[in-house]
Structure 1
Amino acid sequence: MLKAIIILHRYLGVCVGLIMTIWCLSGFVMMYQGYPDTSSTEQEASQQKLDFSGCCDTEMIGGADSAPASSFRIEMRADEPVVEVRGGDNAGIFSLRSGARVEPLDRAHVATAIDRFMAANGIEGDIVTLEEIEVDQWTVYMWRRAAPLWKATLNDRAGTYLYVSGASGKVVQDANRQERIVAWLGAIPHWLYPQLLRQNQPLWYQTVIWLTVLGIFLTGTGLLVGIVRLRGRSGRWFPYRRPVWLWHHMIGVFAGLLVLTWTASGLLTMAPWGLLQSEPSTPRSQVAGAMSWEEARLAIEAARRADIPDLLSLKSAPLAGQPYLIANTRDGSAIRIGPDGPSTLSLPDLQAQFEAHGLSVETLSVLRKEDGYYYGHKRDVELPVIRIVLNDPDRTRVYLHPETGEILRFVSATTKRYRWLENGFHNFDWPILRQRPVWDIVVILLLLGVTGVCATGTWMAYKRVGQDFKRARKAVAKRSKISGGGRA
């Protein structure tokens, strides 16, 4: 039985071991740079000030008065105020001047959007090429929802590509030369993100899951063999004499469990087969509640009357069944808007509002430093925030912006499980190690050990399988020679 496991471990090590080694090496890069993306700050820098002149008959927004208002956002698109409705039967982008569904932007308007983005974000250069595309390497995860896509190649020093959604008119992706090179060393091999595979989401999803399952099996069998052979027949600990075999055995015994936890937690990032998932005792939609289109229109009218300086956008943000909008301005501030105009947020009113909505509050407090579920790690988070712990079986946590009431983070029982079993083990995201450079030093040292296990194992498997094939060829050649001589 042990011999069969060793042979299986050896042959899996040639292919799966190589992939795991690549995952480890790319993990060093992923510590400091992920996949290229465009931040909301970059997008907002180039947004036009919201101009309600020439509009708006708010009756054209949404559906019937009593119908629940879907999530929506109001902003400018090519000098025209539009509302983007997400979800529901009337999903889409509509003009607030005509009420009609907007058509995709033409080349001239796309070029204008690119020029505005470049000026706002300090990108110096010109558009060399501008073409409509379906998908490429840098848009594989969003090409369907951003279609039709336009790609602009710039002649700036950074060698930037910009991608504009013809539907929304926004730059949805920017990737300069350095980001693209680093992505090929980090995110693309780590996430198995080559375009040919990733653009087919179901195939990519299953490929990642089953390769990870094989990686778990490979690691588990390696641990079993390593422990069984920890002491040889001679009585020596770590009985292997060849250097690579000795180092693989020694590192594997001590770091094998770490390899296993990293691989298993990597599998959890894909949320396969509903692992760790459960129905929340209080869904996020229940905390937010719903507002009708009539209430939404009243809030929009209130925002127009408030005449907010440098207003960029309005977005729906109901809370505990009460209708609210969030107005975002050029200077980065956000204002809460209710049906009667700008609205302030107080803790007693908030608790009463939750209780009236049927949500029992266990604790409500202002959080001024990070906790186990609201933290930044590799990015900053907004502090202070209002933390609400609900009195439900999950002890659901809701983190709210202290001025707008926007839900910044929602932590259900499923989120808690993933936070510790996936984030904790895969990103080594533990409170005691969160401070940098402590986290960097610990993770680099551990990742070196894990890489050593995978790399030496792959090399051993490659050499041993090569020897097996040589022996097999010699055996076949010998039999053929004997058989041929016998017939003669």
Structure 2
Amino acid sequence: MRRGLTRTARQWLYIGHRWVGIVTCLLFAMWFMSGVVMMYVAFPGLSNKERLAALPDIKWETVALSPDDAMKAAGVTRFPRDLRLSTLADEPVYRLTNWDGKRQAISAVDGHAITHISASQALAVASHHPAIRAPHLTDVVNRDQWCVTARYDPLRPLYLIKLGDDAGTELYVSSRSGEIALDTNHTERVWNWLGSIPHWIYPTVLRKHGSLWRLVVLWISGICLIVGVTGIWIGILRLRVRRRYSGGRITPYRGWTAWHHVTGLIAGLFVLTWMFSGWLSLNPGDYFAGRNTAGEVMQPYAGHDAPDIATRLPTSLPVGMVEARFVWLDGSPMMILETRDGTEQPVDPASGAPIHLTPDRLWTAAAKLLPDARLTDRLTLQRYDAYWYAHHQERELPVLRAMFDDEVRTWFHFSPVTGDIVGRIDESGRTYRWLFNALHSLDFRLLLMHRPAWDIVVVLLSVLGTVVSVSGVVIGWRYLRR
């Protein structure tokens, strides 16, 4: 009876892997090939450097309202998560983001709330972009393939403006606030149809429903993970190393089936870990903690929560600044001036005198981040390590790391220049770093330090995975024809 049950179970194992694998091998092949494209072409976004590069200089003489006036006009009851001064076309504007995510734009000329901008104003915003040639408005977009995610909801609808440059750059400008929300170019748009869109199963019609998209991808990747496990199981069952098949072969198969068997065993561990980490990227069960820094953490660090910082701006401020951010640090106000190339300089918001943040002052403020925990270790990172590194995005160096003994062993990273908290990670985040970034993107420090070693390894493994997948597609197609 046991032998009969084993034979039946093995038969269903083969049948299940064969027929479900016909569809899933198409997905596997698509994922491996699109993953190589994603190594070099990211999904369109707007980096902080790109955003600053498109802003005009602040004309300080036109700023009539103080930051306190702007917060009063916005009706905020506590100091906002983000408060900054920049220029909308030719008008200075305060932009506020509250702790509930609500955004507001207040004119720094007369204090009126900006809730809508015209097409001509949007073109004026685009006119300061460094790639500008012959700008023209092509559409008003509520949602398309490149702005499909919920992060753009507070800015919709968006003016779509073509800049007329050789790269085919297109800007998305918010019709609500006049902010540049996104830029894309021709290369990104073309290659992402072969990269991120198929890889993430990202068509607009599905992705605009965030919870449904997440559920669909979880189930699809979960089924593919099971198929991968059964494939390795079958591969081991059919492998003979000692008592070989006729002709001294280790596999009973020939042709495409032999390729599928042998390469599946060679690349099996990579395929499984890659599939598992990809499935894990969707955070099933919401196991991994979020990475945002909450207001109750920031308030002790800022040392101030009331909606005030400066009743007036200094009469003399440096030219060439495109943005000014207003923050509190350990009970002291600061205005952080930013240039078009991303250089930042903290100054006193009352006098305009430069502020140099000392390490002692920053560590004193950092110790207050978690009042119920103790700051156990403080590090100054002069170079990247396993948890603070640059791969697909730039990261500041040097950076300070504050380590706490709270229940989840939280680490904070913050800038020694501005005091900004630039990262927060706890035990679950560090676990996720190894289960996703390491297994899925092969973000191992040794490889990343010796590019193109990382490129060679990832491409070779992707080729092996593609061979396994394509051979499975061929085998499945032959079964279907029969």
Q: TM-score, normalised by structure 2?
A: 0.86
Deviation per residue, 1:218-242 (Å, 9 max, x gap): 1011111111111399742533332
Cα distance in 1 between the residues matched to 2:310 and 2:42:
39
The aligned amino acid for 1:15 is: V
Deviation per residue, 1:159-214 (Å, 9 max, x gap): 33322111232332222222211111111111112222222222222221111101
User: Is 304-313 or 342-351 further displaced after alignment?
Assistant: 304-313
Native 8 Å contact 1:388 1:397 kept in 2: yes
Cα distance in 1 between the residues matched to 2:368 and 2:251:
70
Counterpart in the other structure of 2:28 = 20
The aligned amino acid for 2:479 is: R
5 Å-filtered alignment, 1:27-42, equals 27-42=35-50
The aligned amino acid for 1:48 is: P
Native 8 Å contact 1:345 1:404 kept in 2: yes
Q: Give the total of aligned pairs.
A: 460
Counterpart in the other structure of 1:226 = 235
Counterpart in the other structure of 2:146 = 138
Counterpart in the other structure of 2:462 = 447
The aligned amino acid for 1:226 is: G
Cα distance in 2 between the residues matched to 1:70 and 1:234:
68
The aligned amino acid for 2:459 is: I
Q: Relative to structure 1, is the Cα distance of residues 132 and 42 closer, same or farther in structure 2, using a 3 angstrom cutoff?
A: same
Cα distance in 1 between the residues matched to 2:26 and 2:368:
58
- Choose from 459, 463, 472 the match for 2:474: 459
Counterpart in the other structure of 1:48 = 56
1:184 and 2:173 equivalent? no
Native 8 Å contact 2:96 2:105 kept in 1: yes
Counterpart in the other structure of 1:480 = none
The aligned amino acid for 2:177 is: S
| C-alpha deviation, 1:354, in angstroms | 3.5
Counterpart in the other structure of 1:2 = 10
Counterpart in the other structure of 2:453 = 438
5 Å-filtered alignment, 1:39-118, equals 39-52=47-60, 53=62, 55-57=64-66, 58-62=68-72, 67-88=78-99, 91-117=103-129
Cα distance in 2 between the residues matched to 1:46 and 1:234:
69
Native 8 Å contact 2:76 2:307 kept in 1: no
5 Å-filtered alignment, 1:161-240, equals 161-231=170-240, 235-236=244-245, 238-240=250-252
| C-alpha deviation, 1:288, in angstroms | 2.6
Cα distance in 2 between the residues matched to 1:270 and 1:386:
30
1:270 and 2:282 equivalent? yes
Q: Relative to structure 1, is the Cα distance of residues 294 and 220 closer, same or farther in structure 2, using a 3 angstrom cutoff?
A: closer
1:248 and 2:260 equivalent? yes
Counterpart in the other structure of 1:297 = 308
Higher Rg of the two aligned structures: 1
Q: Relative to structure 1, is the Cα distance of residues 294 and 78 closer, same or farther in structure 2, using a 3 angstrom cutoff?
A: farther
| C-alpha deviation, 1:71, in angstroms | 2.8
- Choose from 271, 275, 280 the match for 1:259: 271
- Choose from 388, 392, 402 the match for 1:374: 388
Cα distance in 1 between the residues matched to 2:76 and 2:395:
37
- Choose from 391, 404, 408 the match for 2:418: 404
Q: Relative to structure 1, is the Cα distance of residues 239 and 70 closer, same or farther in structure 2, using a 3 angstrom cutoff?
A: closer
Q: Relative to structure 1, is the Cα distance of residues 152 and 283 closer, same or farther in structure 2, using a 3 angstrom cutoff?
A: closer
Which ranges in structure 1 are unaligned for 5 or more consecutive residues? 468-488
Native 8 Å contact 1:312 1:329 kept in 2: yes
Instruction: Calculate the aligned-residue CA RMSD, in Å.
Output: 2.9
Q: Relative to structure 1, is the Cα distance of residues 135 and 64 closer, same or farther in structure 2, using a 3 angstrom cutoff?
A: closer
Native 8 Å contact 1:314 1:325 kept in 2: yes
Native 8 Å contact 2:299 2:305 kept in 1: no
Native 8 Å contact 1:71 1:85 kept in 2: yes
Native 8 Å contact 2:309 2:333 kept in 1: no
Deviation per residue, 1:216-275 (Å, 9 max, x gap): 011011111111111399742533332111111111112112101001101121112113
Cα distance in 2 between the residues matched to 1:252 and 1:323:
60
Q: Relative to structure 1, is the Cα distance of residues 265 and 460 closer, same or farther in structure 2, using a 3 angstrom cutoff?
A: same
| C-alpha deviation, 1:310, in angstroms | 2.5
| C-alpha deviation, 1:346, in angstroms | 1.4
Cα distance in 1 between the residues matched to 2:304 and 2:365:
21
Counterpart in the other structure of 2:379 = 365
The aligned amino acid for 2:119 is: R
Cα distance in 2 between the residues matched to 1:340 and 1:95:
20
5 Å-filtered alignment, 1:297-376, equals 297-299=308-310, 301=312, 304=314, 307-319=317-329, 323-337=333-347, 342-355=354-367, 358=371, 360-376=374-390
**Does the residue aligned with 2:128 lie in a helix, a strand or coil?**
helix
The aligned amino acid for 1:311 is: M
Counterpart in the other structure of 2:405 = 391
The aligned amino acid for 1:32 is: Y
| C-alpha deviation, 1:422, in angstroms | 0.6
Greater helix share, structure number: 1
Cα distance in 1 between the residues matched to 2:168 and 2:414:
39
**Does the residue aligned with 1:185 lie in a helix, a strand or coil?**
coil
Q: TM-score, normalised by structure 1?
A: 0.85
**Does the residue aligned with 1:440 lie in a helix, a strand or coil?**
helix
| C-alpha deviation, 1:128, in angstroms | 4.9
Native 8 Å contact 1:299 1:340 kept in 2: yes
| C-alpha deviation, 1:295, in angstroms | 5.2
Native 8 Å contact 1:134 1:148 kept in 2: yes
Cα distance in 1 between the residues matched to 2:295 and 2:328:
10
Cα distance in 1 between the residues matched to 2:203 and 2:389:
31
Cα distance in 2 between the residues matched to 1:422 and 1:187:
17
Counterpart in the other structure of 1:479 = none
Cα distance in 1 between the residues matched to 2:146 and 2:255:
42
Counterpart in the other structure of 1:473 = none
| C-alpha deviation, 1:48, in angstroms | 2.2
| C-alpha deviation, 1:153, in angstroms | 3.4
User: Is 55-64 or 370-379 further displaced after alignment?
Assistant: 55-64
